[in-house]
A and B are shown apart, each in its own frame.
Chain A
Amino acid sequence: MYSKGFKPLAIATVVAIAVSFALVFFYAPLDADQGFVQKIFYVHVPMAIVALCGFVAGGIMAIKHLRSGDRSWDMRSYVAIHLSIILGTGVLITGAIWAKASWGHWWLWDEPVLVSFLIVFLLYCVYYPLRFSIEDPDRQARYSSVFAIAAGAFVPINFAAVRLAEAVTHPRVLSQTGGNLPGEMRLTFLVSIVAMALLFVTLWKLELTAKNASMQLKRLRTTLELRSAT
């Protein structure tokens, strides 16, 4: 059922996550300002980056669907968005935990980074009712792709708008100065991003395999029922 490259990919993902956790807890130094709480950074930020990239990737796959008419691209887009929403949930929860530990509040409504991520997340939550309210499969795929493209274009625009905002409590990681991370922290952060990206690709392939198998099973069942009826 699984493609040939799936097993090595899954093993690489598990190894990368184990290495990243080991680096986080045994290699990266404690932050001078936040202390041990800063360790949340290594799970929260990579999750946010990969989730946002997943939304954009979903939009690119949707473009491929509209250009080619191949519905497998719509399925790929759907799975990418679905996974990004799951990671987005993780980002919001871990972010709230980190905010409570370092700022004393679970949420700050006047903080552009937090609110903009919530807006993106809520925007994509609309994707599900839109998609599943349409019964015709072709129309469903087409409308979902249009939504995925429009929302995917909104993600980098939103990101740029937040960068231009002035009052920011939230630390900036991706800056031209490298976010002022010392060498050990930067290495740990980069390994964490790679591990998170590998996890995303592995889970994306896993869900896609399950979806494809489910669709093939449906087709097989229909064919067998037609044969037994004649």
Chain B
Amino acid sequence: MPALPLDEAGQYVAGAYLVFLTLIVVYVAIIGAKVSRIDRELGELVELAEEEWR
């Protein structure tokens, strides 16, 4: 198959790189949300522990 013209090839290349970046961004966002949930729950537990010891 002959090489595609630049404008058509550009769409495929952009699509491939966007897939890669989207996967990474979604993954980091999910882990980030998980870490912030852990952080919030840890704060609640610290408050709970302080109330227990008062």
Chain A contacts to B: CB under 8 angstroms: 1, 21, 31, 33-37, 39-40, 43-44, 47, 86-87, 89-90, 93-94, 97-98, 100-104, 199, 203, 206-207, 209-210, 213-214, 217, 220-221, 224, 227-228
Contacts and interface: CB of A to CB of B under 8 A. Distances in A.
Interface in B3-54: 3-4, 6, 9-10, 12-13, 15-17, 19-20, 23-24, 27-28, 31, 34-35, 38-39, 41-42, 45, 48-49, 52
A217 B12 contact: no
Taking residues whose C-beta sits less than 8 angstroms from the other chain, chain B's interface range is 20 to 34
A90 B10 contact: no
Given A199-B24, A217-B42, A94 B9 contact: no
Which secondary structure characterizes the binding site on chain A? helix
Given A207-B31, A217-B42, A224-B49, 19 more contacts: A1-B38, A33-B3, A34-B3, A35-B9, A36-B3, A36-B10, A37-B9, A40-B17, A43-B16, A90-B19, A94-B19, A97-B12, A101-B9, A103-B1, A203-B28, A213-B35, A213-B42, A217-B41, A220-B45
Contacts of B34: 210, 214
Which secondary structure characterizes the binding site on chain B? helix
B15 A97 contact: yes
Contacts of B17: 21, 40, 43
B38 A214 contact: yes
Contact of B13 (A1, A39, A209): A39
List 3 A-B pairs, minimum CB-CB distance, nearest first: A35-B3, A101-B12, A36-B9
Contacts, number: 89
Contacts of B16: 40, 43-44, 93-94, 97-98
A143 B1 CA distance: 47
A28 to B, nearest CB: 12
27 contacts: A1-B38, A36-B4, A36-B6, A37-B3, A37-B12, A37-B13, A40-B16, A43-B17, A86-B27, A94-B16, A94-B19, A94-B20, A97-B16, A98-B16, A100-B12, A101-B9, A203-B31, A210-B31, A210-B35, A210-B38, A213-B35, A213-B38, A217-B42, A221-B41, A221-B45, A224-B45, A224-B52
